[in-house]
Amino acid sequence: MPWKECKSMDERLKFIARLLDGEKMAPLCREFGISRVTGYKIFNRYKNCGLDGLQDRSRRPYRHANKLPYQIERTILHLKRQHPSWGAPKIRDKLIKEYPMIKPPAKSTVHAVLDRHGLVKRRKRRRYKAEGTPLSDTHAPNGLWCADYKGEFLLGNKQYCYPLTITDYRSRYLLACEGLESTRSAFAFSVFERVFKDYGLPRAIRTDNGVPFSSPNALFGLSKLSVWWLRLGIRIERIQPGHPEQNGRHERMHLTLKKEATQPASFNCLQQQGRFDDFIEVYNNQRPHQALNGNYPGEVYTPSTRIYEQPQEPEYPFHDRTARVTQCGRICIKQRKINLSVVFAGQTVGIKEVADNIWLVSFMDYDLGFFDEEVGRIEPATNPFDPEKC
């Protein structure tokens, strides 16, 4: 039987006693449910230390990470109190100059000593708060597209349907109405890619601040979908939270869609998609639109001249280096891992040193934020999509 947690000392005594009576190690270990390596270790501890060797031993590690001799740690604290503005790199360099005979500690170890004694100021990370972006008003087709999810509804088979709709702002042309299983970005990617292939690329896309158009935990609310749009040269526009009237043309189309294609709902997603396809045909080519002087949206809309193709890798000629963001959203620089965001996974960013050990991270024409080698985390720069800054 395996060791009993509450009577481990008694079990070890029985094990040793039966070994001393001449029983074999292998069958005895099988009976007690332990490996022979553990059995020999217990027996050797008994031979070397007697009964004291059978007591539970401390699991405390023999050495501690970032643990320094008392004299060096005291010197680090003394330098910090003399120079409160100094960080771990400068203190480490000072130690190397004044005490060349000792092995210099790593910068992370010096930082850990300062942090342990409360000598590191922790800056509160500014959380992104959705505020919307500047909104444009275009008079040409494909100058602006509007996208949104019409509210989900229950089908006859008790499954939810999430219709993703895309319209052209100028002509009101309904580019897509796709019933999806959820609002996951993978489904949205496939819909937008098909629309881009069929109609070309717009100059900008206007959405709300919900998933998958925006991510509340990423820098400036960017998502994988919006990062892809930026790579394609498409500007992103977001309405202010709580103001659906800023996307009023699209919301008005949703009202017509609800009345004519969702009440009552179909039994399954395939049947519902057939009704969506019929609605697209009628809405674009048979239904006169008052805002278009009675014309059909299909009579006003023309496909974009901007052909969809895979974007080129961004170049950063004015940066010190480029780096590819890992799948877990990190940048590796000087054997350090800097947390950025998973929404940039696989993307190439530019890195430039703007001050002593202070680095600027940029994506395309947008400055994302700064990091230093001590903290290893990016602090956001000024929001390039802030209405007051644009």
Q: What pLDDT, in 10s, does the model give residues 366-380?
A: 999 888 876 667 888
pLDDT of residue 126: 57
pLDDT of residue 1: 45
pLDDT of residue 230: 95
In a domain, 286, yes or no: yes
Answer yes or no: do 174 and 231 share one domain.
yes
Answer yes or no: do 185 and 227 share one domain.
yes
Examine the pLDDT at 112 and tell me if it is beyond 50: yes
Residue bearing tokens 């805002």: 291
Q: What pLDDT, in 10s, does the model give residues 44-81?
A: 888 888 877 777 776 665 555 556 787 888 888 888 88
Cis peptide upstream of residue 212 (ω within 30 degrees of 0)? yes
Answer yes or no: do 251 and 357 share one domain.
no
State the average pLDDT for the chain.
87
Answer yes or no: do 151 and 266 share one domain.
yes
Helix axes 88-98, 107-116, angle to 10 degrees: 110
Answer yes or no: do 296 and 157 share one domain.
yes
The upper half-sphere exposure of residue 55, i.e. CA atoms within 13 Å in the direction of its Cβ, equals 7
Answer yes or no: do 15 and 107 share one domain.
no
Nearest C-alpha neighbor of 365 from the set 235, 206, 193:
235
Give the pLDDT band (50/70/90) at residue 289: very high
Q: What total number of domains does the chain contain?
A: 4
Q: Which residues pair with 358 in a beta bridge?
A: 355, 372
Helices (H) and strands (E) in the chain, counts: 11, 13
Stretch among 106-120, 121-135, 301-315 having the lowest mean pLDDT = 121-135
**Domain coverage including residue 367:** 321-380
- For the full predicted model, state whether its pTM sits above 0.75: no
In a domain, 124, yes or no: no
In a domain, 221, yes or no: yes
Q: For the chain, state the CA radius of gyration.
A: 32
In a domain, 112, yes or no: yes
pLDDT of residue 67: 67
pLDDT of residue 109: 84
Residues across the chain: 390
